[in-house]
Amino acid sequence: MKFTLWEIGSYLVIIGFWAFFLKVIKRNVTGDILVGAIMGFFLEFSTEPVADYHFKITIYKDLPLIIPFAWGMMFALTTYLSEKLYSRLFHKTSVLLHDKRILILDLLIGLCVGFPLETVGTHAGVWNYNATAIGWTLGTIPLFQMPWETLISYALIMLIGPTFVRYWQAAFEGRI
């Protein structure tokens, strides 16, 4: 029953996130979430042995349908917050093409968004890592009790995911 509530809650959070951005922030993040979900599906499909999930609605082995959309939400939020911080720090109205500073902001914001969500999901038991099967040996991060490899993976993912979303989001919203 616990995981059923987590699963239902996860869908509601993503729908609520989308509606909040649409109604309150006045930003359509449909494309962001869809493109981020594509990236999320790639990540989860390619790393399927890393974790065992405990949700009912799955799309491949034990990979829940909601997880790629959770990645989409994380990438959408990271992209939005990175762009807002970029505008504030560098006094620009939009991200300049090929400005590498956005990568650092994506990495920092992405870690602040994704790693806490990963930590909550892990400690709630929504998934379990197969750390011994994949050879994670760097130990755990004090206070968080999370594998160092998780933090490193998030840092590397956030160097590419938000850029992918930023590039393709408009196409998935019919703006180009």
In tens, the pLDDT along 101-160 reads 999 999 999 999 999 999 999 999 999 998 777 888 899 999 999 999 999 999 999 999
Residue-level pLDDT at 109: 98
Q: How many Cα neighbours within 13 Å face the side chain of 127? A: 22
Task: Report yes or no: 9 and 124 within 8 Å, Cβ to Cβ.
Answer: no
d(CA 10, CA 134): 27
pTM greater than 0.75 (yes/no): yes
Tokens for 87? Answer: 């505008």
Residue-level pLDDT at 172: 87
DSSP 63: E
The larger pLDDT score, comparing residue 172 to residue 68, is at: 68
Residue-level pLDDT at 77: 98
d(CA 89, CA 83): 10
Phi first, then psi, for residue 54 (nearest 5°) are: -125, 30
Please count the structural domains in the chain: 1
Residues of the chain with pLDDT > 70, as a percent, come to 99
Query: What domain range includes position 117?
Result: 2-172
DSSP 51: E
Q: What is the mean pLDDT of the chain?
A: 95
Q: Is residue 176 over pLDDT 80?
A: no
33 exposure class (CB count in 10 Å sphere: 0-12, 13-18, 19+): buried
65 exposure class (CB count in 10 Å sphere: 0-12, 13-18, 19+): middle
Name the band, by pLDDT with cuts 50, 70 and 90, for residue 94.
Answer: very high
Name the band, by pLDDT with cuts 50, 70 and 90, for residue 76.
Answer: very high
